[in-house]
Structure 1
């Protein structure tokens, strides 16, 4: 029987790349999404060639109790890839309470709650892998993205702590921290700003969603069987 993986944020560019790569390797997938029905249909059509099981789950994880709809829809499970996220750009003094609550719920509270509720399915098998797609800003922080940096840093702290708690249960817990990835998340920047950003990156280019997906696959696979509590930095040498 093939392995089953939950991917949150599966209709985002990184989530969709992860889904396509995992499907091509024979994984069955739970595909969480919020409201992008068209992208979901496109993704399901792309995955149909691989012939595994792909189950959509709709939920707004920026709301505190929405995680229950996700966890109640999960049956067989071998791993979690938490790729949900939005960025918020602006001065901290200008952010409203509602925005801060949504950021916290989406990036941290729902990650913790989904993991907590699904851990028994993994501990029963004494095996499994949990991966959070964090951010370079969770490692080093960013001006104008203070709240976003904070929740991404909280994800990393959660991953490191949980990895120690679950290691004796055969469950590995890691994170991927992408740098500047060429997705719609960079659409807030002008062409000139992106050019400046690229010049700052030692490798001289932006990363791709496909490269993030390859790192996720590595962390899910037996190739990383002795890795837990780690954060893979995918940033072209931008920050060490």
Structure 2
């Protein structure tokens, strides 16, 4: 069976690293993006240049119709999705009492609803063949909580609950569901914190550095591999020991 991966939010950062590494492992990859078309096309082109198969597809994961269309397009061009990586997400700092209805619902609809939409879109084939793997990207803040990032932390905690519960539901169909909880990863998303804060977070990390997108990609590739065939419902912390 051909191995086809759909990686959401894969135009840059962690998603980009995941897409590139999965391609190195022999997956055909759908590189999902919302706004950064040029970067997504560059990721897909890099994969093709290296001898792999890839395509970039725009879709807002919060929009069920767009997700369904993306999955159909992927199936037509690359084949049915055998690995889904739910990486797309939004983050930001705001005090809880200042969160508007619009912001609250957007966090929920992207970070949690997006995972629901993509999983439901790829499940029919996985259930039919009784095989497949789903890896959700949560966060250490979903495990620990985060001041001034309540909405983000809530949705990332919910992804962990989704992972564990869905793993039990899908285990009889031999579909594995796991989760990676990254620590502080050096991407554009964390640069807004400022260099002083990032240095402090690196000092708080037992391994003494910020993580790289590739650190997270390695964890995803492992969970998707046959070496992890007896692992489901697990939360793998790629955090340099931040949470022990």
1: CA distance between counterparts of 2:64 and 2:226?
34
Report the CA distance between 1:69 and its aligned residue.
Answer: 2.8
Report the CA distance between 1:41 and its aligned residue.
Answer: 2.4
Report the CA distance between 1:65 and its aligned residue.
Answer: 4.7
In structure 2, the residue matched to 1:103 is 107
1: CA distance between counterparts of 2:138 and 2:156?
5
In structure 2, the residue matched to 1:168 is 172
Instruction: Please report the TM-score for the alignment, with normalisation by the length of structure 2.
Output: 0.94
1: CA distance between counterparts of 2:82 and 2:72?
16
Report the CA distance between 1:97 and its aligned residue.
Answer: 1.2
For 1:33-87, what per-residue CA distance to the aligned partner results, in whole angstroms no more than 9, with x for missing partners?
1110120122122112333321222112244653333333242121100110121
In structure 2, the residue matched to 1:204 is 208
Alpha carbons 2:32, 2:40 under 8 Å: kept: no
For 1:180-210, what per-residue CA distance to the aligned partner results, in whole angstroms no more than 9, with x for missing partners?
0011111121211111111111111001100
In structure 2, the residue matched to 1:218 is 222
Where 1:55 maps in the other structure, the secondary structure is strand
2: CA distance between counterparts of 1:96 and 1:69?
30
In structure 1, the residue matched to 2:133 is 129
1: CA distance between counterparts of 2:111 and 2:72?
20
2: CA distance between counterparts of 1:65 and 1:94?
31
In structure 1, the residue matched to 2:68 is 68
2: CA distance between counterparts of 1:70 and 1:162?
22
2: CA distance between counterparts of 1:67 and 1:229?
24
| Greater helix content | 2
In structure 1, the residue matched to 2:32 is 32
Alpha carbons 1:26, 1:50 under 8 Å: kept: no
Report the CA distance between 1:99 and its aligned residue.
Answer: 1.2
Instruction: Please report the TM-score for the alignment, with normalisation by the length of structure 1.
Output: 0.95
Alpha carbons 2:112, 2:159 under 8 Å: kept: yes
Alpha carbons 1:2, 1:26 under 8 Å: kept: no
Paired residue total: 240
Alpha carbons 1:70, 1:114 under 8 Å: kept: no
In structure 2, the residue matched to 1:183 is 187
Alpha carbons 1:176, 1:215 under 8 Å: kept: yes
CA RMSD of superposed structures (Å): 1.4
